[in-house]
């Protein structure tokens, strides 16, 4: 039976309903993870949970210790990662409250520690990252969203930007020309590190705002926070369906 781990993003620093049996402070070669790894029962299954930005939400996207987070989950016994991400919508279908299970990504970040294959190697190591997400895990998320009856897209290209600032309208126009459908700040190097550690990985993205230039309105953090509050119940019920199989 697959051991799932959930990485909670903005709006999901705690997994309501998780019957926590143990909280692990995992020592990693890369320092401390964002938070303790919580192990418990959720939707009738054993699950691991880690808050990407810490609890409370305090670590900005460019300061998250992604290597420590993924290493800690692997050490705690995770085999598959369900990553929850809050994103901006670029494609017209990606309206606030819409879900996307991306099938591709483009990395626009810089300066992040992005690989475990850096030091003291016996040989140079490369991974095949042609398809960055686990297709079986993506299909499980898609089936769960369909069963929930929510608006979703079963594919999309995730643009990962550096943050913590939001993008300019010109930058979003560039991302759109590049073929990106949604934009966030935490999709990389998380996905690549999961591949290096041989962990299945898929992303459940919740659109919380139109990207810059996609609406006449000013992007409001209050509106983003409201969209997170409105969407988290659907996020957790979707995750529960995946775990129940």
Strand partners, 51: 8
| Distances in whole angstroms, Cα of residue 109 to Cα of each of 68, 112, 113, 183, 219 | 18, 7, 10, 12, 22
- CA atoms of 19 and 139, how far apart (whole Å): 27
CB neighbour class for 174 (10 Å; exposed up to 12, middle 13-18, buried from 19): middle
Does the annotation list 136 as a binding residue?
no
Instruction: Give me 182's structure tokens.
Output: 């949604």
Does the annotation list 112 as a binding residue?
no
Does the annotation list 28 as a binding residue?
no
Does the annotation list 131 as a binding residue?
no
- CA atoms of 93 and 211, how far apart (whole Å): 12
Instruction: Give me 152's structure tokens.
Output: 């979703």
Strand partners, 24: 37
Does the annotation list 186 as a binding residue?
yes
DSSP per position, 133-158: S-HHHHHHHHHHHHHHT--EES--EE
Does the annotation list 55 as a binding residue?
no
Residue with tokens 């692990």: 24
Query: What DSSP element (H or E) covers 96?
Result: none
Q: How many CA atoms lie within 13 A of 76 on its CB side?
A: 31
In this structure, are residues 37 and 76 in contact, taking their beta carbons and an 8 Å threshold? yes
Measuring CA to CA, which residue among 210, 203, 200, 205 is closest to residue 234?
205
Binding positions for phosphate: 10, 52-53, 186
Which residues sit in the known binding site for substrate? 185, 209-211
Annotated binding-site members: 10, 52-53, 185-186, 209-211
């Amino acid at each position: 039976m697959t051991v799932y781990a959930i990485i909670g993003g903005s709006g999901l620093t705690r997994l309501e309903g998780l019957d926590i049996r143990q909280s692990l402070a995992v020592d990693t070669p890369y320092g401390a993870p964002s938070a303790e790894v919580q192990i418990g029962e959720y939707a009738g299954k054993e699950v691991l949970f880690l808050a990407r930005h810490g609890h409370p939400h305090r670590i900005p996207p460019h300061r998250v210790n992604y290597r420590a987070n993924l290493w800690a989950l692997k050490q705690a016994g995770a085999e598959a990662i369900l990553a929850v991400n809050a994103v901006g919508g670029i494609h017209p279908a990606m309206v606030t409250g819409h879900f996307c299970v991306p099938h591709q990504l483009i990395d626009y970040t810089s300066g992040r520690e992005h690989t475990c294959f850096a030091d003291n190697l016996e040989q140079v190591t490369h991974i095949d990252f042609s398809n960055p997400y686990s297709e079986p895990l993506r299909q499980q998320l898609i089936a769960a969203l369909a069963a929930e009856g929510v608006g979703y897209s079963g594919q999309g290209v995730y643009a990962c930007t550096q943050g913590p600032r939001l993008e300019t309208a010109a930058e979003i126009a560039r991302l759109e020309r590049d073929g990106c459908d949604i934009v966030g700040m935490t999709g990389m190097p998380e996905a690549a590190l999961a591949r290096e550690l041989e962990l299945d990985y898929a992303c459940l993205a919740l659109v919380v705002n139109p990207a810059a230039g996609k609406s006449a309105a000013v992007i409001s953090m209050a509106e983003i926070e409201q969209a997170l509050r409105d969407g988290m119940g659907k996020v957790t019920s979707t995750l529960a369906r995946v775990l129940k199989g």
